[in-house]
């Protein structure tokens, strides 16, 4: 069976632009991390239960791949999809750590949806897959489209390709498990200060390299301050040359020449 790659991402910047009921609206630059990915494939199995083979700490029912299966099946009601998951398990070789702000779970879910679409000839467009993926997680649509770099807004459903060269990035993921809901709740309670439309338009047109050169981590990512407040251990890893991805815990910087 063919092997598929589920790439990590970083948030070059992540700013809050408003609220939508219980959600925060964002404007962010997502960039794919080259040479850092999980791999997924279908492998034959015995037994009829949905099975994921891989190094996961969560139960199958909480896994984004299983949630993607449920979302896809409710959308297409495919007997061939049912048969595939009765006869095959999803083998995942994990490289992207969990709770790291690198989108590993979302990328795995997106990769699974695209695998099923290809293997079963479901004929779904990327837009249709992105709509299904959004039901699994806000970051999933970015990974569905497969852009190297994109401006992502709304609650993650608006993905606009941003044409630029991929940066060679160095990642640092401390052993700090961060809860995204906790960070967002802290932001709303203690740091809420959405940017205006003028700032949004400037950021969306600025090259990622210039963002990283001209903005500090705190300026580029609205979630760093609440993450530092809720998880003081992060301060041990925060330095002037590092930026912060998502709600954490990963930091990153442009790889330096040796």
d(CA 38, CA 6): 5
Q: Estimate to the nearest angstrom the gap between the alpha carbon of 35 and the chain centroid.
A: 16
pLDDT of residue 257: 59
Q: Do 21 and 113 belong together in one domain?
A: yes
Q: Which residue has the higher pLDDT, 230 or 1?
A: 230
pLDDT at 188: 93
The candidate with the shortest Cα–Cα distance to 244, out of 210, 213, 212, is 212
Residue 238, pLDDT > 70, answer yes
Q: Are 206 and 146 contained in the same domain? A: no
178 shares a domain with 138? no
222 is known as an active-site residue: no
Instruction: Give me the CATH number covering residue 227.
Output: 3.30.70.890
Q: How far apart are the first and last CA of the chain?
A: 39
Q: pLDDT digits over 12-29, tens only? A: 999 999 988 778 899 999
- 10 — pLDDT class (breaks 50, 70, 90): very high
Q: Are residues 22 and 108 in the same domain?
A: yes
- Give pLDDT tens digits for 147-193: 999 999 998 899 999 999 999 999 999 999 999 999 999 999 999 99
Residue bearing tokens 């992060």: 234
**Residue 7: strand pairing partners:** 37
Catalytic residue among 9, 15, 32, 67: 9
**pLDDT given for residue 98 in this prediction:** 87
Verify that 195 and 231 share a domain, yes or no: yes
Domain assignment of residue 206, given as a range = 169-254
Q: What average pLDDT is seen over the chain?
A: 94
pLDDT in tens, 116-152: 999 999 999 999 999 999 999 999 999 999 999 999 9
Instruction: Quick: pLDDT tens for 71-111.
Output: 999 999 889 999 999 999 999 999 999 889 999 999 999 99
Q: Quick one: 134 and 174 in the same domain?
A: no
Q: Are residues 143 and 214 in the same domain?
A: no
Number of domains composing the chain: 2
- The Cα 33–Cα 101 span in angstroms is 12
Pairing state between β 149-154 and 23-44: antiparallel
Query: How many angstroms separate the CA atoms of 152 and 208, rounded?
Result: 13
- Domain boundary residue, one of 128, 144, 161: 161
| Residue 74 sits in the same domain as residue 142 | yes
What CA–CA distance (Å, rounded) separates 13 from 28?
A: 5
pLDDT given for residue 73 in this prediction = 96
Residue 48 belongs to domain with CATH number: 3.30.230.10
Regarding whether 183 and 67 lie in a shared domain, the answer is no
Cβ-proximal residues to 15 (8 Å cutoff; 6+ apart), any chain = 26, 27, 28, 194, 195, 199, 200, 203, 221, 222
Same domain, 9 and 80: yes
Given this model, what pLDDT does residue 15 score? 97
Q: Does 139 participate in catalysis according to the annotation?
A: yes
- Which residue, 123, 144, 161, sits at the end of a domain? 161
pLDDT at 46 over 60: yes
The catalytically annotated residue of 32, 38, 114, 139 is 139
The whole-number average pLDDT for the span 19-41 is 93
- 176 and 136, same structural domain? no
What is the C-alpha to C-alpha distance for residues 129 and 24, in angstroms, rounded to an integer? 23
Q: Are residues 136 and 174 in the same domain?
A: no
Q: Please check whether residue 59 is in contact with residue 37, taking contact to mean a CB–CB distance below 8 angstroms.
A: no
What is the reported pLDDT for 258? 44
């Amino acid at each position: 069976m063919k092997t598929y790659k589920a790439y990590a991402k970083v948030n070059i910047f992540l700013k809050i632009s408003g609220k939508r009921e219980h959600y925060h609206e964002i404007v962010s630059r997502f960039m794919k991390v080259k040479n850092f990915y999980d791999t997924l494939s279908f492998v034959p199995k015995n037994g009829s239960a949905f099975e994921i083979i891989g190094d996961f700490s969560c139960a199958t029912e909480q896994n984004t791949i299983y949630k993607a299966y449920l979302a896809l099946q409710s959308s297409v009601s495919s007997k061939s999809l049912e048969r595939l998951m009765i006869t095959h398990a999803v083998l995942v070789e994990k490289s992207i750590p969990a709770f790291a702000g690198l989108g590993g779970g979302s990328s795995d879910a997106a990769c699974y949806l695209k695998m099923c679409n290809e293997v079963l000839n479901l004929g779904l467009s990327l837009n249709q897959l992105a709509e299904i993926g959004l039901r699994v997680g806000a970051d999933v649509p970015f990974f569905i489209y497969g852009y190297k770099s994109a401006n992502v807004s709304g609650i993650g459903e608006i993905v606009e390709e941003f044409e630029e060269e991929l940066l060679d990035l160095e990642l640092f993921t401390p052993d700090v498990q961060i809860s995204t809901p906790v960070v967002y709740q802290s932001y709303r309670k203690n740091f809420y200060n959405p940017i205006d439309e003028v700032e949004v338009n400037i950021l969306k047109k600025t090259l990622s390299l210039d963002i990283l050169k001209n903005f500090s981590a705190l300026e580029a990512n609205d979630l760093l301050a609440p993450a530092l407040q809720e998880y003081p251990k992060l301060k041990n890893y925060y330095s002037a040359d590092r930026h912060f991805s998502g709600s954490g815990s990963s930091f990153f910087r442009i790889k330096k020449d040796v």
